Every structure is written in structure tokens, then in C-alpha cells.
Amino acid sequence: MAKKGKKGISFSGGLAALILIAAAAGAAAWALTAKSKPKPASQTGLEADPATGDVLYEVPPKASLSVLSQDLQAKGLIPDARVFRLFLRVSGQDKKIRAGYFYVRPSNSALEMAYKLTSGKMATQIVTIPEGKASWEVYSILKAKFPLDSLKFDSLVHSAEFARACGLESPDLEGFLFPETYVLPWRVTERDVLKVLARRFLEVEREFDLDAPIYRKYGRRGWVTLASIVEKEAAVPQEQDPIAGVFWNRLNLGWSLGADPTVRFAVRKPTGPLYVSDLNSDSPYNTRKFTGLPPGPICSPGRGALKSALRPPKTDKMYFVAKDDGSREHFFSVDNTAHVRYKDVAASNRIKRGMEKPKGGRAAKNPSDRGASR
């Protein structure tokens, strides 16, 4: 009897233990899956996505798990900071949390929030850098999305040391901020975003066979410099090849490139009329006044301009001028006589379109009068 009793006691104790374990597991499961009650945005200060209703939450750099969990509870994003903190530590996921911005639901369980902050799926922004933008224009585009400092941005762009840190042997990053659509973290620093753009250029560069005359003679910087001028002169993609051909001829003959976009870069005048004083600028970027390539790129060229500048097609053309007839195309000519004739046609087109008065004015030329002149 005593033996049976002992067995019965043992069985009952084991059952009780199992019940306790099950109850504890249930309580733990409830604690981990119970959702928080969302708080009004006015109380949390969190920015909400109007499309999804998700809120933007920042995990600060070097924030302790204790501080982070308390902040999440205070903002109503989790029901219990202790449960959240304990789960992350026991599971070892506390080391997987990264600083940055995350879109999270206004109400979460500890499990849901733990997954969100350790998944690496941070909030992002999409930014498009168009072809043909100078570094200060790239800054303006990025500034619309990110809280960047203009002086710091410009200082890094013109730092040879920082260019080397980006993998480029160059005195600056002008021309190497590759134009493309980027998916970037919600917040980026000046250093981080410049590295992304410059390294993208290096990735694209590997798509090209660089065994070409322009690269052998002028190197990477010379190639990108020519491409940047082609990018600014060619208003339609199909003219990048013939424009590159004209410039290559002029370089080989020792002529000035006569490219107004380089003057615009020198005087920081992207649009508007160019005056005689502009065209007489002593800047080494003034290819109306000085022969050869300017010291560096005047904008960031895209793939098309890089391709055309790397292997310009053979041509007998030495000049081009914008037609100004609305087509955004150019007249190309072999000699100056034909070039002058085409300039007259372009002037007539501008008058017909109300772009210019017959007598002219203070401007040296119309801002749309793109072309290579001598």
C-alpha cells in the first residue's frame, strides 16, 4: 500500500508541475503576444505614414536596451517594457537591434516589435538624381529629403582625402556622384550618402571596357570630364554620339571646345543669358577661352554620355549649334561658314518662337544657343 501511495504522490506531483509549467508558458505567451493600446500622435510625437497608418520610430545610436524598451512603452508601441527586454535578452536578439528608423504599427506585441527591430528592414526613402547635375544641385535634391548641412556636404565633395575613402583617386567628387534612383535609409549623413553615390559610379565604371583612347590619354577624370560636357550639351540622347565626336576632333586638333556649359559651371549660372563678361571669365573651366579639357567634370554624366565620351564615333563635323526650333536638336557642320549659316537659322527660329528680339540685347547669346563654336 505504501508503495502504491508513493507512486500516486509522485504522479500527482508531476501533474502539478506540468500544470504549473503549462500555466507559466501560457502566461509567457500571453505576455509576449498581448498588444499595446495605441496613443494619439499628439502624445507620442511620432510621424505617421498617411497611406498605411504606420508610425516612424527611431532607434537612437548606442541606446541601451533598458532605455529603448522604456521609450517604446512610453510611446504606447509595446504593452510591457520588462517583457520585451527579457525576451530579447533570453533569445539573444538584443544584439541584433540596429540604430536607425523603422516603420512600426501604432500597436504591437513584444514579439512583433522584437521582430521588427531585429529584421533589418529599416524605413527608407527613394531619391532620384537626374543626369547632368553639378554637386551643389545634387545637394539641393538630397536636402529636400534629408537634414544635410551644405557646408559639410561641399567640404566632403571637394576633399581629395574623402574621395580616396570612396575609392577614387581624384581631387574631388564632382562628376562622380552617379545619377540614378536610390533607396536610402530614412536618415543619412553627408558622408554616408556621398559614399553611396560615388561607389555606385565605380560599379557602373566596371561595365565599360576602358581600353580606349580618351582613357589612355586623359585617364578616368578626363573621360568623365568629357562625358559631363557631352551630357550638358546633348539635349536629346541620340545626339550624345555626334557631339562627343565633334569634341574629340577639337581636342585632337588643339581647338577650344567652345562649350557654354563649362562657362555656366565656372560662373555658377545654370540658366539665363550669358553675358560677354561671363564668356571672358578667366576660369580654367572656360572652354570658350582656353583649349583642351577643363580641370574636371562640370556635372555627373549618365551611362549614355559616359559611353559616347569613351568611344566617340568618327566624324568630319567640327561645329554644332542648337536649332532652337523646339526639337532640342542641333545643326552639325564641317566648317565655320556652314556653322555661321546655321547660327543665323537658329536666330531666326528663336525670333519666330518669340524667344528673342530681332535686335538682341545685353546678352552675348541666347541661353538655349548651345553648341561648339570657335
Determine contact, residues 318/257, Cβ cutoff 8 Å: no
Is pLDDT above 70 for 3? Answer: no
Distance CA 147, CA 42 (A): 23
Q: What is the pLDDT of residues 193-215, one digit of tens each?
A: 999 999 999 999 999 999 999 99
Distance CA 149, CA 143 (A): 8
| Mean pLDDT confidence for 240-257 | 97
Determine contact, residues 223/205, Cβ cutoff 8 Å: no
Distance CA 82, CA 271 (A): 60
Distance CA 145, CA 2 (A): 80
Q: What is the pLDDT of residues 68-77, one digit of tens each?
A: 999 999 998 8
Residue 106 is predicted with a pLDDT of 85
Is pLDDT above 70 for 40? Answer: no
Cell 500544470 belongs to 19
Q: How many CA atoms lie within 13 A of 174 on its CB side?
A: 21
Distance CA 226, CA 234 (A): 12
Is pLDDT above 50 for 88? Answer: yes
Determine contact, residues 274/364, Cβ cutoff 8 Å: yes
pLDDT category at 112 given cuts 50, 70, 90 is confident
Residue 120 is predicted with a pLDDT of 79
Domains, the chain, ranges and CATH? 41-118 (3.30.1490.480), 124-205 (no CATH), 213-372 (no CATH)
Determine contact, residues 342/261, Cβ cutoff 8 Å: no
Provide the mean pLDDT of the chain. Answer: 86
Amino acid at 112: E
Residue 49 is predicted with a pLDDT of 75
Residue 362 is predicted with a pLDDT of 40
Q: What is the pLDDT of residues 89-99, one digit of tens each?
A: 888 888 888 88
